Structure 1
Amino acid sequence: MPGYLLVSPRRHVEHVVRDLDEESYLDLMRVVRKVALAVESVVPSERTYVLSLGSQQGNSHLHWHVAPLPPGTPYERQQYHALMSENGLIPWTREQAEDLATRIRQAL
């Protein structure tokens, strides 16, 4: 999905609820929201998914996925289906990715 990115804290945090006090959690969520708004300002989106996924068995570092759903995506291809690379990838060049990253940075 064009604009799909990850937001993670600089310090190592493993659990979104237990490892952060309320103030730290809210500070981090403000950053996640700011990034999501920047993405939405440059990427057309019907909805922007913001979710924290991970596993102690695979990736035990806290991070949020920010994923803008392209407008017109059929309902059966939304939500988790849209996030799974097994369901197909959008053709994307390095130049396109760099251009989009620049526009998102400028929006921030």
Structure 2
Amino acid sequence: MSTERQAMDLEQYERRARGGPCFVCAFLAGEPEYRHERVYEDDEHVAFLDRWPTLPGKVLVAPKRHVEHAVRELDEAAYTRLMLFVRAVALGVEDVLEPERTYLLSLGSQEGNAHLHWHIAGLPPGVPYRRQQYHALMTEHGVLTVPPRESAELAGRLHGAVADRLRAAGPA
């Protein structure tokens, strides 16, 4: 997987996140400007490669329904289904990328990227400690430049791994 980095235009990103449509809803509606490589989906959730990854194979997971608060807007059953989906995707990331550690976090705010989403990022082995954790996730340190063909191939491999994990888990 490509490890070449490019600078992130943070001002443009902020304008888009705060002034544009919901990026998850726009992606699901098929808007070309919000295209991402889909990794896996079921009736309620979708997993897709981050357009601006800071770690190889960084995946975002979101409910398909526009939800902004994991605690307030999801009942216990919906929250549990979402978290089981997040887990299956994270295990698929581990199967494909064999990271040293897998980071899971939910970001966003009412001011931008309000649609609830989880970041799944596998930390490759050998990353120096000072470049791990939040440092590894911050776009301020640059984003990976991944050729479209490589992204599509990785999404396909991740799809297979997630499908295997969900099959093994059986019906929810």
TM-score of the aligned structures, taking structure 2 as reference length: 0.60
Q: Post-superposition shift, 1:46?
A: 0.6
The residue number in structure 2 matching 1:81 is 135
Change (3 A) 1:25 1:100: same
The residue number in structure 2 matching 1:105 is 159
The residue number in structure 2 matching 1:25 is 79
Alpha-carbon distance in structure 1 between the residues aligned to 2:145 and 2:65? 33
- Which protein has the bigger strand share? 2
Unaligned runs of 5+ in 2: 1-54, 163-172
The residue number in structure 2 matching 1:62 is 116
C-alpha RMSD of matched pairs (Å): 1.0
Q: Post-superposition shift, 1:43?
A: 0.6
SS of residue paired to 1:54: strand
Q: Post-superposition shift, 1:92?
A: 2.2
Number of positions where the alignment pairs a residue of Structure 1 with one of Structure 2: 108
Alpha-carbon distance in structure 2 between the residues aligned to 1:88 and 1:72? 19
Unaligned runs of 5+ in 1: none
1:58-88 C-alpha deviation (Å, 9 max, x unpaired): 1111000000011111111111110112112
One-letter amino acid matched to 1:74:
P
Moved over 3 A (4+): none
Q: Post-superposition shift, 1:2?
A: 1.1
Structure 1 residues 82-91 or 61-70, which shifts more? 82-91
Q: Post-superposition shift, 1:48?
A: 0.5
Which of these residues, 86, 104, 108, is aligned with residue 50 of structure 1? 104
Q: Post-superposition shift, 1:51?
A: 0.6
- Aligned residues: percent identity? 59
Which of these residues, 63, 66, 69, is aligned with residue 9 of structure 1? 63
Alpha-carbon distance in structure 2 between the residues aligned to 1:102 and 1:77? 28
Q: Post-superposition shift, 1:21?
A: 1.1
Q: Post-superposition shift, 1:9?
A: 0.3
